[in-house]
Amino acid sequence: MTPPRDAALDLTSVATGYLSDVAVLEDIDLHVEPGQAVGVIGRNGAGKSCLALTIAGQLRPQAGRVTFGGADIAPLSSRARAGLGIALVPEGRQVFGQLTVRENLVVAAYGVGQRLTPAAFDAVTEHFPVLRTKEADLAASLSGGEQQMLAIARALVQSPRIIVCDEPSLGLAPVAIDVLARVLGSIRDSGVGLLLMEQNRGLLEDVCSSVKLLDGGGIKLTVEPRDLSRPEVMAAYLGHAGSAHAL
Ligand SMILES: Nc1ncnc2c1ncn2[C@@H]1O[C@H](COP(=O)(O)OP(=O)(O)OP(=O)(O)O)[C@@H](O)[C@H]1O
């Protein structure tokens, strides 16, 4: 199945979870177009990873439709979805620490049946000059921010049309989050769709045009990023047990 170049990702009334008979999320509607960045904010355990894994094909929806370019992708494996252009940057980066930076990129390209050509390496490392200078270093020797860049670069060598990023700012210093925001912005502007699962409000404000608030097993609100700081939105996000510091 080859979706059109302008393939959009759509979830309609999706229910999903880690176990086939227990829903973590229900009634999820989502639309991401090429060149658009949509954010999903939610506390620990809200189901951000569950949603990311469902889109990537590692979890099966219990109900509803997941389409890409209008075609139902429910029957497709995660590998087949990656081949269509749906790339996942998993929580915790999950780079291969004992492989070099370049080897990590070779393996990622191989995963979708591609070779890492010199042109592809150049195109990807244009976003991440530090990866070019460290191409022969073991991934395990990189800083957290550099490993996150490598995780995103692994998605980029798969020629994605949409990248689903699961908490890319987790554990990063503020300066590394600023770099991440710039890079994600330029990837979005190159025409790739982004779905950004995050707890970091600043990153969502910098990169996204709309943000979904995930809570209580569903999407509670959809807001513009600048509205994330409004008291009623923070209250909805934080609930009675939260504190403003969580954002
Ligand atoms: N492998 C699993 N099997 C069953 N339940 C799980 C599994 N992993 C997570 N859960 C549960 O599913 C719910 C959603 O978890 P999930 O990790 O998707 O949320 P999250 O928003 O990504 O949280 P975090 O930010 O902590 O990663 C939580 O109640 C969690 O305890």
What pLDDT, on a 0 to 100 scale, did the predictor assign at position 7?
87
Ligand 1 site residues, Cβ closer than 6 angstroms: 18-19, 24, 42, 44-50, 91
Sheet arrangement for strand 25-32: 25-32, 9-16, 63-68, 71-72
CA distance 211 to 205: 9
CA distance 38 to 49: 15
Name the pLDDT band for 240 (thresholds 50, 70, 90).
very low
Output the CA–CA distances (angstroms, integers) from residue 95 to 54, 77, 83, 138, 224, in the order listed.
20, 21, 19, 10, 32
As a whole number, mean pLDDT of residues 95-112 equals 96
Residue type, 230: R
Does residue 100 have a pLDDT over 50?
A: yes
Complex ipTM over 0.90: yes
What pLDDT, on a 0 to 100 scale, did the predictor assign at position 239?
57
Question: What is the whole-number distance in angstroms between the Cα of residue 92 and the centre of ligand 1?
Answer: 14
Does residue 55 have a pLDDT over 80?
A: yes
Choosing from 16, 21, 22, 24 the residue with most ligand 1 atoms within 8 A of its CB, the one to mutate for a pocket test is 24
- The pTM (predicted TM-score) of the whole model is 0.92
Name the pLDDT band for 241 (thresholds 50, 70, 90).
very low
Question: What is the whole-number distance in angstroms between the Cα of residue 44 and the centre of ligand 1?
Answer: 8
Consecutive H or E run containing 107: helix 101-110
Name the pLDDT band for 243 (thresholds 50, 70, 90).
very low
CB atoms within 10 A of CB 103: 16
How many alpha carbons fall within 13 Å on the CB side of residue 236?
A: 17
pLDDT digit string (tens) for 144-199? 999 999 999 999 999 999 999 999 999 888 998 999 999 999 999 999 999 999 98
Closest CA relative to residue 78, chosen from 96, 95, 59, 94: 59
Question: What is the whole-number distance in angstroms between the Cα of residue 8 and the centre of ligand 1?
Answer: 26
As a whole number, mean pLDDT of residues 131-135 equals 96
From the number of C-beta atoms within 10 Å of its C-beta (0-12, 13-18, 19+), residue 209 rates as middle
As a whole number, mean pLDDT of residues 54-71 equals 95
How many alpha carbons fall within 13 Å on the CB side of residue 135?
A: 14
Structure tokens at 56: 């990537």
What pLDDT, on a 0 to 100 scale, did the predictor assign at position 244?
40
What pLDDT, on a 0 to 100 scale, did the predictor assign at position 232?
79
Ligand 1 atom with the smallest distance to the CA of 199 is: 25
CA distance 172 to 87: 22
Does residue 2 have a pLDDT over 90?
A: no
What pLDDT, on a 0 to 100 scale, did the predictor assign at position 235?
75
